[in-house]
Structure 1
């Protein structure tokens, strides 16, 4: 994962504007896109960006995604054909550092109309928990790595901004601005759709704020430490079993540490996700007498997802958190 400094608030507007002005749209004359049906061709790297493009673009865009349903985004491999399709798109939406294969493909494709979602909202550094344990105090050599092999000592930034509705709304605004620039003939529609989506995300944020105000514990354990922004937003403590890579094996020291955390913080549930193995979650739950449940990082929607789209799955996440944390 690339290490970048937090983006100052003053630079955020400029970043959004830059992301939009880099779009050398074939729509410069006000035409829609280069596809046969006149729609703007948008290629999204994975589901959260696909969702934004579809909700903001609606009938004016044709959206494709590089990450098919059921594929774990972090492990995505890009084919030469997909790299070629990137170069043909009117707009490419991706989140730099989340998927190394996509970063490489975007660079190789020569595509000019690129929007990096990582420039649209400030990224932060999150450890495996709200307490930021990092390396175990008794085992400093066993720090928790991220999905690209970095240790938390390298201060890698967390890309999972879409799990915080407030930050996701900031990304939505940037995507909306980019579509307006690429297809000025429909700018008013994109602006209206963006405002409607941001309003829904604002309401979702309120639901989470109200729903997580009074709980018996503020700590939750998850296999995939993707919920740092969500935890920070709502005053929770995330304890990741093995960092941000859902498939990596936790050290014995980490499992022992989590058993102690579960007991101290009255944790009732170990969360796993739909796109990765639940082996580590079930192992920890078995050792500690805890229950298991799903907390979905929303990197893709499948028939196993607890909802058909972003909003439905996020509300399922809220219900599962409320149950696990003991909402009063």
Structure 2
């Protein structure tokens, strides 16, 4: 995976340094300079997990637009010239650099000054399948041309770990405080509330997955490395980081053997990508299928209306598949 990080720029008036993030804050945002004509801070988010943070922290003070519409698989998103222009009119752009190449290009072309790269607000890690890179290797072998990885093979799916998502929330909150100082107290309050909810969710996952009959789960693509590491599980991915890439016959055979060895009961698929390979593997091994949602978008097929509801559905499905006691 390729993680491309923002290079901090020289300090400018109104800029805030968040870890390795270069964020230039616009003092006129609160007055509606840029993305919003109604006095709200205009935030353009790359996809659902980023938009959710902006909405939860900004609430009535922000107007949030997402570049990835509901039902669109975000990894292969294409950006229209109209969306690039919209991005340039925003007060704040919020994204994860390297996850969506089209968004990276649009941000660079848009000239938007207030940029928050969520990948710089927490520490990214290398994740493969159950401690190795079988899934990622298969994705590269079978799906060349897809560039969804970060430098050094680091995993961008940080929002699926409530602890890391909370770290990003704190950075986004600080960014909005700088962009709109008149409402800084509200942003701080909303950030603290959101972090509290994420901390509670982390506790639910710890308690719910502490005692399970199996620790290994098989999923469509390698999105759950942070979640697996956080809660002592082993992720085995069919297709690596790109959910649409086809696994090799050797990988499918390997997973069949692993399912028997590790007492795996379920193959997970997701709502925004094809379930074909997951169902094929399940049929070949006599396993069940269920949903484990990487939360890259919310649709009417999602098992919940927002981040917290879907994450709790994920927890319930993992507990069932792993034999939680």
TM-score (norm 2): 0.91
Equivalences for residues 182-193 of structure 1 within 5 A: 182-193=179-190
- Report the equivalent of 1:108: 109
SS at match of 1:256: helix
SS at match of 2:18: helix
Equivalences for residues 133-152 of structure 1 within 5 A: 133-134=133-134, 143-145=138-140, 149=146
Q: Where does the alignment leave 5 or more consecutive residues of structure 1 unmatched?
A: 6-13, 137-141
SS at match of 1:63: strand
Q: Where does the alignment leave 5 or more consecutive residues of structure 2 unmatched?
A: 6-15
Q: Determine the C-alpha separation between the residues in 1 that align with 2:80 and 2:60.
A: 28
For residue 177 of structure 1, the aligned residue among 155, 160, 174 is 174
- Report the equivalent of 2:51: 50
In structure 2, relative to structure 1, the CA distance for the partners of 1:15 and 1:266 (3 Å cut) is farther
**Cα deviation, residue 31, structure 1:** 3.6
Q: Determine the C-alpha separation between the residues in 2 that align with 1:200 and 1:117.
A: 19
Q: Determine the C-alpha separation between the residues in 2 that align with 1:71 and 1:111.
A: 24
Contact residue 55 and residue 193 of structure 1 kept, 8 A: yes
- Report the equivalent of 1:252: 249
**Cα deviation, residue 20, structure 1:** 6.8
In structure 2, relative to structure 1, the CA distance for the partners of 1:59 and 1:3 (3 Å cut) is closer
**Cα deviation, residue 242, structure 1:** 1.1
1:220-245 deviations in Å (ceiling 9; x for gaps) = 00011100000000000000001011
**Cα deviation, residue 58, structure 1:** 0.3
Q: How many pairs were matched up?
A: 312
Q: Determine the C-alpha separation between the residues in 1 that align with 2:300 and 2:264.
A: 29
For residue 23 of structure 1, the aligned residue among 22, 25, 36 is 25
Q: Determine the C-alpha separation between the residues in 2 that align with 1:17 and 1:238.
A: 29
- Report the equivalent of 1:118: 119
- Report the equivalent of 2:13: none
1:216 aligns with 2:213: yes
**Cα deviation, residue 21, structure 1:** 4.5
- Report the equivalent of 2:63: 62
CA RMSD of aligned residues (A): 2.2
- Report the equivalent of 1:130: 130
1:153-211 deviations in Å (ceiling 9; x for gaps) = x7421100000000000000000000000000000000000000000000000000000
Contact residue 130 and residue 235 of structure 2 kept, 8 A: yes
Q: Determine the C-alpha separation between the residues in 2 that align with 1:241 and 1:327.
A: 23
**Cα deviation, residue 25, structure 1:** 3.6
Contact residue 43 and residue 66 of structure 1 kept, 8 A: yes
SS at match of 1:70: coil
1:7-33 deviations in Å (ceiling 9; x for gaps) = xxxxxxx95166474223423xx6455
Contact residue 15 and residue 119 of structure 1 kept, 8 A: no
